[in-house]
């Protein structure tokens, strides 16, 4: 027992000894590193040392300021000047620009090593001018260079243990007095700036990477478009007056909505005041209190929020941030909640209202012609006007830069610092765009006519365009091609066998110069194809063409009894019309058709319904039955059409629920609110 106790005491002494030895080694190492970093010199020569360090510090501050202004750059890479759409330049000063961290489908975030390299170069280039051969000390010392100058910058550490910016300058100098007696040799000059650059840079990266994963900015822009009553999206009216919108006013409205609302985006975990009183009650949603349910508002808003997030719309509240729409939808979770950004503010901005000139904004609305938008079907408005039904569905393609500014506020341990970066937000036909295409305004001289522009091929390369069947992936012959750049559209030819390419059908030739143009393909039996292209380099583009098939349509109406069970069925009457809308979001496909009652003189003359061919597809279907200006029934739900039925059939029979509202608006409202459930009570649609 005593022997065991003795061995235990020896073990304790060994552990204590090892700890003391480790502590001594660490202290010695720390002392050695400290001596290396801080060079002990003659106090008389401290002004020389401080002079070098002061120059280094001022240059480092200037470098960090430029880096903050320019999104991480001091010296702009060649790719920035290769295209005007790759940089946001809010001011005429060419030295202050924000290269886009995301453009043309490419992430272009400068690395920390690249930023440190820019700082090293900036300080190295600036120090000789600042030191000016030490002329300030010529009356006291003779200062000789013993070697070349080197600068090493450390922008903090990833783990946050060392947040300050450190610049170490290796500059071997020999200092002599006027009697040529060597007083000292100086070599190392170390300065520290209490700026948390690494932390701010990582927050900026988190925001950019989260944006490209979630497309938060694009989703908010789409919400603003879908929820604003002044912007036409999808609708139907049963009257004889055609609806018209001015395209310029629609664009101005969207720019204003984005400019005003994006300022309210907050970053979760960063600093903002939820109790801040806003100058007005901000709400992109119309105040539909008592007119719609929270479920309907959620559906219109196109968000992933819960219905409870719309509670504020249905109660009285103060005009504070936490009581607004923004608190539910504009607080952006971009990073690990464990990271501390409580002293950091983030501002997200698009400037579309500046009187000095707003930021770039490119918009394309489909379908549209000229300066106006008007209601009508995809096949033309003449049928709709004849039946007094106005329908419209517009898709929006947008491209605009967004600037994010991060402000790290002053604390007892760090100085304030501001860092900005920019990226391009893109929406293609109502969907966030992940493609490698970017919009750009056309900068050719405005006096060009379309014929002049289309004929100007002098600066272009040969381009290769190949149309492919999106299902079979085989090349398609005789596809008519057009090329659009800005307001100019040029017919360029068609695909045909190229015997230099073993008979592969393609287009080979020149097109007019355009930073980013739109290639379109048209062929019977296919949905019109469209893609963005660049003409800067000789390149082959593959245009996917989705095969489609046209179907004749019939509609059978079903009456329901008091228990919502099928009671009777019959075809459309001669005074009735049916509007059918099919959507397939994964392929951004939509199709419309109008059916007249069987005894109507127009029956059979209307265009058939277009479906995607040779695939099993589930469509979102909306069907409405009207009698002049009165809504009489409909059907809402999903319909799956198999590839075999698609291939063999030629007619689709749709079923709809019919109701007599007797001009009772409340009854009509309740009916259409319950229509998705009522639609399940009747037979499903069938292909024959």
The pTM assigned to this predicted structure is 0.58
Which pLDDT tens digit goes with each residue over 455-483?
777 555 678 899 998 888 899 999 999 88
C-alpha span between 607 and 315 (Å, rounded):
48
Q: Is the pLDDT of residue 41 over 60?
A: no
Least confident of 195-204, 547-556, 657-666: 657-666
* Closest by Cα among 66, 166, 174 to 126: 66
- What are 79's two structure tokens? 């790719």
Tell me which of 518 and 21 has the higher pLDDT: 518
Note the pLDDT of residue 381.
40
Note the pLDDT of residue 378.
42
Helix (H) or strand (E) holding 216: helix 216-227
Least confident of 179-193, 230-244, 448-462, 620-634: 448-462
Burial class of residue 461 in the structure, from the number of CB atoms within 10 Å of its CB (0-12 exposed, 13-18 middle, 19+ buried): middle
Confidence of residue 385 (pLDDT cuts 50, 70, 90): very low
Note the pLDDT of residue 244.
86
C-alpha span between 263 and 403 (Å, rounded):
11
Confidence of residue 194 (pLDDT cuts 50, 70, 90): very high
Task: Write the CB contacts of 138 (distance below 8 Å, at least 6 apart in sequence).
Answer: none
Concatenated DSSP letters of 128-183: HHHHGGGGGGTTT-EEEE-S--EEEEEE--TTSSS-SEEEEEEEEEEEE-TTS-EE
Confidence of residue 421 (pLDDT cuts 50, 70, 90): very high
Q: What is the largest CA-CA distance in the chain?
A: 118
To 10 degrees, what angle do helices 294-301 and 216-227 make? Answer: 120
Percent of the chain at pLDDT above 70? 75
C-alpha span between 278 and 284 (Å, rounded):
14
How many whole angstroms from its chain centre is CA 584?
Answer: 22
Q: Is the pLDDT of residue 221 over 90?
A: yes
Percent of the chain at pLDDT above 90? 20
* Closest by Cα among 185, 113, 126 to 154: 113
Q: Is the pLDDT of residue 153 over 90?
A: yes
Phi, psi of 305 (to 5 degrees): -70, 160
- What are 676's two structure tokens? 């998705």
C-alpha span between 72 and 423 (Å, rounded):
13
C-alpha span between 495 and 295 (Å, rounded):
49
Count CA atoms closer than 13 A to 326's CA, side-chain side. Answer: 24
Note the pLDDT of residue 667.
72
C-alpha span between 451 and 675 (Å, rounded):
52
Q: What share of the chain is helix, strand, coil (3-state, %, to 5)?
A: 30, 35, 35
Q: Is the pLDDT of residue 207 over 90?
A: yes
Note the pLDDT of residue 113.
92
Q: What are the residues facing 153 on neighbouring strands?
A: 167
Which pLDDT tens digit goes with each residue over 487-505?
678 888 999 998 877 888 9
Phi, psi of 187 (to 5 degrees): -140, -45
Least confident of 32-36, 340-344, 660-664: 32-36
Which pLDDT tens digit goes with each residue over 320-339?
888 778 888 899 998 766 67
- What are 63's two structure tokens? 């470098």
**Is the preceding omega at residue 367 within 30 degrees of 0, hence cis?**
yes
Note the pLDDT of residue 540.
82
Return contacts of 674-682, CB within 8 angstroms, 24+ apart.
675/634, 675/635, 675/636, 676/636, 676/637, 678/560, 678/564, 679/635, 679/636, 679/637, 680/637, 681/558, 681/560, 681/564, 681/565, 681/566, 681/657, 682/558, 682/560, 682/566, 682/635, 682/655, 682/656, 682/657
Q: Is residue 667 a contact partner of residue 570, using CB atoms and an 8 Å limit?
A: no
Least confident of 65-74, 383-392, 620-629: 383-392
For the chain, the residue count is 688
Q: Which of 73-82, 94-103, 165-174 has the highest mean pLDDT?
A: 165-174
Whole-number mean pLDDT of the chain?
Answer: 77
Note the pLDDT of residue 677.
87
Note the pLDDT of residue 536.
65
Note the pLDDT of residue 166.
93
C-alpha span between 73 and 640 (Å, rounded):
53
* Closest by Cα among 440, 442, 427, 498 to 467: 498
Least confident of 161-165, 313-317, 518-522: 313-317
Which pLDDT tens digit goes with each residue over 597-607?
765 555 455 66
* Closest by Cα among 239, 242, 223 to 231: 223
C-alpha span between 298 and 385 (Å, rounded):
33
C-alpha span between 167 and 107 (Å, rounded):
29
Concatenated DSSP letters of 350-400: -----TT-PPP-EEEEES-BTTEEE--BTTBSHHHHHHT-EEEE-EEEEEE
Q: Is the pLDDT of residue 70 over 80?
A: yes
Q: Is residue 516 a contact partner of residue 438, using CB atoms and an 8 Å limit?
A: yes
Confidence of residue 356 (pLDDT cuts 50, 70, 90): low
Average pLDDT score over residue span 199-205: 93
- What are 610's two structure tokens? 């277009």
Which pLDDT tens digit goes with each residue over 503-541?
889 998 888 877 667 888 999 888 888 887 777 666 788
């Amino acid at each position: 027992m005593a022997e065991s106790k003795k061995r235990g005491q020896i073990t304790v002494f060994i552990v204590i000894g090892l700890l003391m030895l480790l502590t001594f080694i660490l202290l010695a190492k720390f002392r050695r590193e400290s001596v290396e970093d801080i060079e002990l010199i003659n106090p008389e020569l401290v002004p020389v040392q401080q002079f070098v360090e002061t120059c280094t510090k001022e240059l480092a501050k200037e470098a960090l300021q430029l880096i903050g202004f320019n999104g991480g750059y001091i010296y702009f890479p060649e790719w920035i000047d290769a295209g005007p759409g790759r940089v946001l330049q809010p001011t005429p000063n060419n030295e202050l620009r924000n290269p886009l961290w995301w453009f043309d489908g490419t992430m272009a975030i400068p690395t920390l090593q690249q930023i440190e390299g820019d700082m090293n170069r900036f300080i190295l280039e600036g120090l000789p001018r600042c030191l000016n051969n030490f002329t300030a000390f010529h009356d006291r010392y003779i200062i000789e260079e013993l070697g070349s100058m080197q600068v090493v910058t450390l922008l903090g550490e990833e783990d946050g243990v060392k947040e300050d910016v450190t610049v170490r300058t290796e500059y071997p100098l020999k200092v002599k007095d006027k009697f040529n007696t060597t007083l000292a040799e100086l070599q190392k000059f170390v300065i520290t700036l209490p700026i948390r650059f690494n932390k701010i840079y990582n927050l900026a990266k988190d925001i950019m990477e989260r944006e490209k994963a979630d497309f938060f900015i694009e989703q908010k822009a789409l919400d603003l478009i879908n929820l604003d009553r002044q912007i036409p999206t999808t609708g139907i009216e049963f009257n004889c007056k055609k609806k018209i919108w001015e395209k310029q006013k629609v664009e101005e409205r969207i720019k204003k909505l984005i400019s005003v609302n994006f300022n309210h985006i907050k970053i979760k975990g960063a600093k903002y005041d939820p109790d801040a009183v806003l100058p007005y009650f901000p709400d992109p949603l119309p105040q539909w209190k008592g007119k719609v349910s929270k479920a309907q508002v959620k559906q219109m808003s196109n968000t992933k929020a819960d219905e409870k997030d719309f509670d504020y719309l249905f109660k009285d509240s103060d005009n504070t941030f936490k009581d607004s729409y923004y608190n539910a939808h504009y607080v952006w979770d971009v990073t690990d909640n464990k990271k501390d950004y409580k002293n950091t503010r983030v501002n997200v901005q698009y400037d579309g209202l500046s009187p000095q000139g707003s930021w770039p904004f490119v918009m394309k609305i489909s379908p549209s012609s000229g300066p106006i938008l008007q209601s009508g079907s995809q096949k033309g408005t003449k049928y709709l006007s004849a039946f007094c039904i106005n329908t419209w569905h517009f898709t929006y393609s947008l491209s605009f830069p967004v600037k994010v500014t991060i402000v790290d506020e002053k604390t007892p341990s760090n100085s304030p610092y501001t860092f900005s970066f920019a990226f391009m937000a893109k929406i293609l036909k109502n969907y966030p765009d992940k493609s490698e295409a970017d919009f750009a305004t056309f900068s050719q001289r405005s006096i060009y006519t379309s014929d002049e522009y289309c004929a100007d091929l002098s600066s272009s390369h040969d381009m290769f365009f190949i149309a492919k069947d999106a299902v079979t992936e085989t090349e398609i012959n005789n596809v008519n091609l057009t090329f659009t750049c800005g307001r100019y559209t040029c017919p360029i030819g068609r695909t045909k066998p190229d015997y230099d390419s073993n008979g592969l059908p393609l287009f080979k030739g020149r097109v007019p110069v355009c930073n980013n143009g739109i290639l379109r393909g048209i062929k019977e039996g296919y949905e019109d194809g469209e893609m963005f292209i660049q003409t800067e380099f000789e390149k082959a583009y593959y245009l996917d063409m989705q095969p489609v098939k046209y179907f004749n349509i019939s509609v059978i109406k079903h009456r329901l009894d008091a228990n919502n069970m099928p009671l009777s069925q019959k075809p459309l009457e001669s005074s009735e019309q049916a509007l059918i809308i099919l959507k397939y979001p994964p392929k951004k496909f939509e199709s419309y058709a109008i059916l007249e009652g069987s005894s109507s003189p127009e029956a059979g003359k209307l265009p058939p319904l277009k479906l995607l061919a040779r695939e099993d597809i589930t469509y979102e279907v909306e069907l409405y039955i009207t009698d002049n200006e009165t809504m009489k029934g409909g059907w809402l739900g999903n319909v799956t059409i198999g590839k075999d039925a698609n291939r063999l059939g030629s007619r689709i029979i749709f079923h709809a629920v019919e109701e007599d509202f007797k001009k009772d608006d409340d009854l009509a409202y309740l009916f259409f609110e319950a229509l998705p459930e009522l639609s399940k009570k009747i037979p499903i649609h069938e292909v024959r």
